[in-house]
Amino acid sequence: MRVLLTAAATAALVVSGPLTATAAGQGPQGPVGGDLLTTKPTAVAEGATPPAVRASAYVVADIDTGEVLAAKAPHARLRPASTLKALTALVLLPRLKKTDVVVGTDDDAGIEGSKVGVYPGLKYSVDLLFEGMFLGSGNDAVHALCVHDQGGVKGTIQRMNRKAEELGAHDTTVTDPTGLDADGQYSSAYDLALIARAGLARPDFAKYAATKYTAFPNAGNKGTYQVANQNKLLFDYDGALGVKTGYTTLARNTFIGAARRNGHTLVVTLMNAPHGITKDASDLLSWSFTNYDKLNPVGTLVKPAAPSPKAAAGPTGRRAEAGTTQPPRSRAVVNPGQAVQSLALRVPAWAYAAPPVLLLGLFLRRPRALRRRRH
């Protein structure tokens, strides 16, 4: 009986233990993008030694080929700050008409964090709000755009999380589309590279990311003021394509930058850097361009999954259909081992402990029954 109990308890632990969770950035065969792309804080490169940078995590990759040229803790889940706005834009750009007019609200103007200057009662084109979002990192512009779309902020968050899954950005969880330090909101240097690659494939995203200056209306429509792009790479680095910067107290400096030289388009992402992030990005890009022919890929940027028909719908604004609030059902074929694992995950953990407990009860009651017969 003891042997039977031990075997049952061991089986319960084996089934329920290892299958209850998987690490972020981990696929069935290992880290997403390759075995060398882990959360370890050691720089990984083959063919040349990358420059030392102060960021806790980074990725340098070729957008065209998908090859990761160097990385450091690429799957470490860190706070993204305003670099998350790249994903926000990726979701909103195909849904909103650039010529639509949005009227600023008190909620827009009163939002926390960085603002570009959206005033209650003033009218803004969607196009201008996107410029305010990219250049000035305006949380007020993000809020106005999200509210203009069907489902508002909540709907945007749902779509952003679905988009992250579609891109293979499994380290990313969105709870605030502005990128503020919200509970449970994380991304990774690897995921930011995936998002940047998808964004730069869109001409409108690429245009906003590379715009250096725009003009925003003053309160009361009394003239305009100039807004400059916060990504200094655009002003200081030859071939720069921009993208997005970020900063919060908890995230510290975060960065997405891209540049094109000698027929190659490279993206660099950095997270959790104390200072000097533009120089670090420039150093990594220059090192990559200089040593490009010597470098062997240390991983790959995974290809995105095909979007659902509703997710791929065109510009909509408030007239849009609400879209799905649940991800589409997967019809992937699984092998028998995966099927067993999937079934095991659906069974509550207490069910595995039930057989041993029942057997134990029978074992403990049996001696008392025998004693009654002897009397």
**pLDDT tens-digit profile of 67-91?**
999 999 999 999 999 999 999 999 9
Based on the number of CB atoms within 10 Å of its own CB, is 191 exposed (0-12), middle (13-18) or buried (19 or more)? buried
Stretches in the chain below the pLDDT threshold 70: 1-29, 307-375
Q: What is the DSSP string of 158-182?
A: HHHHHHHHHHT-TT-B-S-TT----
Cα 166 to chain centroid, rounded:
11
Closest of 73, 120, 310, 86 to residue 221, by C-alpha: 120
> Residue 372: which region, alpha, beta or left (left: phi > 0; alpha: psi -120 to 50)?
alpha
Sheet strands (E) in 150-251: 213-217, 224-228, 240-248
In the numeric block, the tokens 């200056």 are attached to: 213
Going by the DSSP 8-state scheme, the letter that residue 296 receives in this structure is: B
The two counts, helices (H) then strands (E), for the chain are 12, 13
Say which amino acid occupies 135: L
Enzyme catalytic residues: 82, 85, 137
The pTM of this model reads 0.77
- Predicted confidence at residue 310, as pLDDT, reads 56
- Listed as own residue / partner, the contacts of 11-19 with beta carbons closer than 8 Å and 24 or more positions apart are 11/352, 12/352, 12/353, 12/355, 12/356, 13/352, 15/344, 15/352, 16/344, 16/349, 16/352, 19/341, 19/344, 19/345
Contact between 83 and 187 under an 8 Å Cβ cutoff? The reply is: yes
**Where is 266: in which H helix or E strand?**
strand 264-273
- Predicted confidence at residue 351, as pLDDT, reads 44
Instruction: Please count the CA atoms within 13 angstroms of the CA of 269 that sit on its side-chain side.
Output: 33
Q: Is position 303 annotated in a ligand binding site? A: no
The two structure tokens encoding residue 38: 């882990």
Contact between 92 and 129 under an 8 Å Cβ cutoff? The reply is: no
**Where is 271: in which H helix or E strand?**
strand 264-273
Q: Is 72 helix (H, G, I), strand (E, B) or coil?
A: strand
The two structure tokens encoding residue 67: 């090859």
Phi and psi at residue 322, to the nearest 5°: -65, -30
What distance in Å separates the CA atoms of residue 297 and residue 66, rounded to the nearest whole number?
9
- Predicted confidence at residue 221, as pLDDT, reads 73
Phi and psi at residue 140, to the nearest 5°: -65, -40
What distance in Å separates the CA atoms of residue 281 and residue 273, rounded to the nearest whole number?
11
* Residues contacting residue 23 through CB under 8 Å, at least 6 positions apart: 39
- Predicted confidence at residue 305, as pLDDT, reads 84
Contact between 218 and 160 under an 8 Å Cβ cutoff? The reply is: no
What distance in Å separates the CA atoms of residue 47 and residue 67, rounded to the nearest whole number?
14
Closest of 226, 242, 219 to residue 109, by C-alpha: 219
